[in-house]
Amino acid sequence: MTATLLAKIWEQLGVAATSRSPFNFLQLATSGLDGAPQLRTIVLRRCDAGRGTLSFVTDMRSPKIREIRSDPRVALVGFDPAASVQLRLSGEAVISDDEAARLEMWQSLRERTLILFDAPHAPGTVLDDNGQPLQAGEPSDEEAYARFALVTVTLNRLEWLDVSSEHHVRYAFDRDGATWRGARLAP
């Protein structure tokens, strides 16, 4: 059962990385610089089942980048409402310095995503009602591409919780070198 379920999880993550499906949007948790939890939605952009990694893109200037640099441990959660399944993941995030991988991802993004990196203000900058920044600071003269971050999370644990029936079913998979050790857990 565990091998079949593990394959199913990776298959669903693979589908989610390439199309609108329940786990296409995941909630990403980091530790804030003050230690408080920080949580936000991200779009899953890539899944590599062989390496056990997931990738997303973000703005290099966003707080989550500083948080990941300070503490790379992250958690992710997704929920498929039609199947009543929660997928809970954890691992270590790396901000990619692989130029080929960055460029490949950049070139795969649609115009409406690329345009986000044109924004002159760092995410979270306070704006007035007209969209102008209230905070002091020069708009960045960096190119949009320089603001583009590809973040890859090497997962070390995956958890599947199915609450579709009266008897909830929960499994966990922990990384064990190149393989995964699965176990059924009390829900």
Long-range interactions of 111-116: CB distance < 8 A, separation 24+? 113/57, 114/144, 116/59
**Contact between 77 and ligand FMN per CB under 6 A:** no
Specify whether the CB–CB gap between 92 and 73 falls below 8 A.
Answer: yes
Q: Which stretch binds ligand FMN (CB under 6 A): 40-48, 97-105, 167-175, 177-185?
A: 40-48
Q: Report in angstroms how near the CB of residue 128 gets to ligand FMN at its nearest.
A: 19
Stretch that binds ligand FMN, among 2-10, 14-22, 36-44, 163-171 (CB under 6 A): 36-44
Any contact of residue 63 with ligand FMN (CB under 6 A)?
yes
Beta carbons within 10 angstroms of residue 108's beta carbon: 11
Our finding on whether 43 is near ligand FMN (CB under 6 A) is yes
Q: Is 46 one of the binding residues for ligand FMN (CB under 6 A)? A: no
Cα four-point dihedral sign 22, 147, 151, 33: negative
* Distance from the Cα of residue 121 to its chain's centroid: 22
Which residues are at the interface with ligand FMN (CB under 6 A)?
A: 25, 38, 40-43, 56-59, 62-64, 123-124
